[in-house]
């Protein structure tokens, strides 16, 4: 399960302006990491490609304050 967390943090870091060391499970995509809606789409696509899953397309829109932990939990549902 640690690989899930590590890979998601790497994907988020690559799609935002934040160093991976600053990406924590409690980090909020928009407020803390400066992510916008396009970043969010790229992050979800990166997770889907990395883990060969299909996340519900409404997932990103349902969380105004989405954290890295939300992404981890949602990814685990599909594995």
2-77 is classed CATH 1.10.1200.10: yes
Whole-structure pTM value: 0.92
Mean pLDDT of 9-33: 95
- Name the pLDDT band for 62 (thresholds 50, 70, 90): confident
Residue 1 has pLDDT above 70, yes or no: no
Distance between CA 52 and CA 10 in Å, rounded? Answer: 16
Copy the structure tokens of residue 71. Answer: 């992404």
The torsion defined by the Cα of 27, 9, 5 and 41, in degrees rounded to 10, comes to 90
List the Cα angle 64/4/19 in 5-degree steps: 65
Share of the chain above pLDDT 70, in %: 97
- Name the pLDDT band for 39 (thresholds 50, 70, 90): very high
Distance between CA 60 and CA 29 in Å, rounded? Answer: 10
Domain spans in the chain, listed from the N-terminal domain onward: 2-77
């Amino acid at each position: 399960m640690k690989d899930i967390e590590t890979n998601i943090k790497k994907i988020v870091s690559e799609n935002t302006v934040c160093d991976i060391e600053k990406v924590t499970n409690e980090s909020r995509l928009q407020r803390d990491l400066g992510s916008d809606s396009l970043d969010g789409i790229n992050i979800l696509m990166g997770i889907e490609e990395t883990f060969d899953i299909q996340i519900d397309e409404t997932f990103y829109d349902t969380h105004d304050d989405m954290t890295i932990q939300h992404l981890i939990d949602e990814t685990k549902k599909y594995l």
